[in-house]
Amino acid sequence: MSQRVTLGVIIGNRGFFPTHLCESGRKTILDVLEKNGIDVVILPETARQAGSVESLADAQACADLFKQHREKISGILVTLPNFGDERAVANTLRFAGLDVPVLVHAFNDDAKRMTIADRRDSFCGKMSVCNNLRQYGIKFSLTSGHTMDPNSPEFAADLQKFVAVCRVTKGLRRARIGAIGARPGAFNTVRYSEKMFEQAGITVETLDLSEVLGWANKLTSADAVVKDKLAKISAYTNVSGIPAESLDKMARLGAAIDTWSTENQIDATAIQCWTSLEEFYGVVPCTIMSMLSDSLKSSACETDVAGTVSMYAMQLASGRPSALLDWNNNYGGDPDKAVVFHCSNLPNSVFAEQKMDYQEIIAGTVGKENTYGTIVGRMKTGAFTYCRVSTDDINGKICAYLGQGELTNDNLVTFGGFGVVKIPNMQGLLKYICENGFEHHVAFNLSETAGAVQEALGNYLGWSVYHHA
């Protein structure tokens, strides 16, 4: 599950509107945030006018408070119980300089309470706040309704989407991706620009495959880390019929990767597979990668670093494991269905059922005995989000496409990890992928988080994002 998010909260106020609206609005919004599992940083109620922000001094005090909690605050909620002072809101954000997502909310007016004693005018004030934020160059998000009752389920959904946006934005801006091994020679499609990712805050830490194999070979089955990893592998999946020698090799490889990842504070990995690991070490890394992804340490094969970033973005949004798959086959004559597949390293959480097996494709080249360790089975049915991030080196930008669909229970008998998907206007999506040179790999997450991921990647990270509807 995702960690709790802390939001800075700005209560907007304009003096000639009733102060009691700020007092009651503050209580309401804080109650709602607590119910939704969100921690807050806010001016104390003992500050001027219930800790609301109106003057230049208020803006400076609130900004100073936010700066003190810079490391904790992942986003800022601006809430307007009345019209609010647009300059004070914008100044607070500028002075704080946090560069985090901002959600602008306005309270509903009650049509039966429209006298000077109770009228809010937040409907109008929100436009002024947004106008000033745009003038100041401050990026922001909007609630689904222009004005909203904070106690409504719609606002609760908006909050959950916003905290997902905050997690993705913060997580990617400081992500550390481990690239273990060179890109396989036959996979030009997974080329990417390390420099463009670095400019976006995503650091790629490289490790030669010979080093990790050297560390694995230095370990023995008697080492405590190997025993521990072997026990975890056996508890993770059905290993019946798998040679003990292969399981030992997996455990040593997993222990070596874990040690390096911990020492280098790696958030997610991309690992070389075809076919060096099989030929020179004697197993596929799929089980180890599956376990990493399932423990929220996304891991992509074929050293697909951009694929790892795609996986990690959705993992941050949902708090659930992501998988990397191929857009692999048509499904009969249905234009909106397709088969998704990998060999596979899919995380346990996405399977309806799974077991360990050997990799049938590579086995034809290097021998069955060198390819044990895949996790095979059919994916669960239900809703999912898909995402693909890519570096467009020709145009010097990071781009992505994403959307949502359904994993179906349509009949299919095959090998590896697989599922049948249904996506509205899938032919249009496939045309977009091909015309824009995207890879055949795509990340999946069993959640409905496309809106949050789009907002984070497009609005706050400034990437070029296509949301397929």
Cut 0.85: pTM above it: yes
**Within 174-295, where are the H helices?**
194-199, 209-218, 224-236, 244-263, 276-280, 286-294
Q: For residue range 70-84, what is the model confidence (pLDDT) as tens digits?
A: 999 999 999 999 999
Q: Quick one: pLDDT at residue 274?
A: 83
DSSP assignment of 308-343 equals: HHHHHHHHHHHSS-EEEEEEEEE-TT-TTEEEEEES
- Give the pLDDT score at 116: 67
Are the CB atoms for 64 and 57 separated by under 8 Å? no
Q: Angle, to 10 degrees, between the axis of helix 305-318 and the axis of helix 153-173?
A: 150
Helix spans in 369-425 (H): none
Q: Residue 218, class by beta-carbon neighbours within 10 Å (0-12 exposed, 13-18 middle, 19+ buried)?
A: exposed
Average pLDDT, the chain: 96
Per-residue model confidence (pLDDT) at position 341: 97
Residue 114: predicted pLDDT: 66
Over 80: is that where the pLDDT of 310 sits?
yes
Rounded Cα gap, residues 415 and 413, in angstroms:
7
3-state helix, strand and coil shares in percent for the chain, rounded to the nearest 5: 40, 25, 35
Place of tokens 């990397």: 324
d(CA 299, CA 346) in angstroms, rounded, equals 9
What band does 111 get if pLDDT is binned at 50, 70 and 90? Answer: confident
Q: What is the pLDDT of residue 165?
A: 98
- 339 band by pLDDT with thresholds 50, 70 and 90: very high
| pLDDT (average), residues 225-245 | 97
DSSP conformation class of 428: H
DSSP-assigned beta bridge partners for residue 341? 326, 418
Residues in the chain: 469
Give the pLDDT band of residue 167 (cuts 50, 70, 90): very high
pLDDT by residue (tens digit) across 118-135?
778 899 999 999 999 999
Tens-place pLDDT, residues 424-463: 999 999 999 999 999 999 999 999 999 999 999 999 999 9
Whether residue 245 has pLDDT greater than 60:
yes
Give, in degrees to the nearest 5, the angle at Cα 310 between 411 and 413.
Answer: 15
pLDDT in tens, 250-301: 999 999 999 999 999 999 999 998 889 999 999 999 999 999 999 999 999 9
Mind listing the domains of the chain with CATH numbers? 6-173 (3.40.50.10940), 176-467 (3.20.14)
pLDDT at 1 over 60: no
**Residue from 213, 430, 391 nearest 305 by CA:** 391
Using only C-alpha atoms, what is the Rg of the chain? 25
Q: How confident is the model at residue 2 (pLDDT cuts 50, 70, 90)?
A: low
Q: What is the mean pLDDT of residues 361-377?
A: 94
How confident is the model at residue 15, as a pLDDT? Answer: 75
Tens digits of residue pLDDT in 134-145: 999 999 999 999
pLDDT tens digits, 14-35? 877 778 889 999 999 999 999 9
Q: What token pair was written down for 432?
A: 């977009």
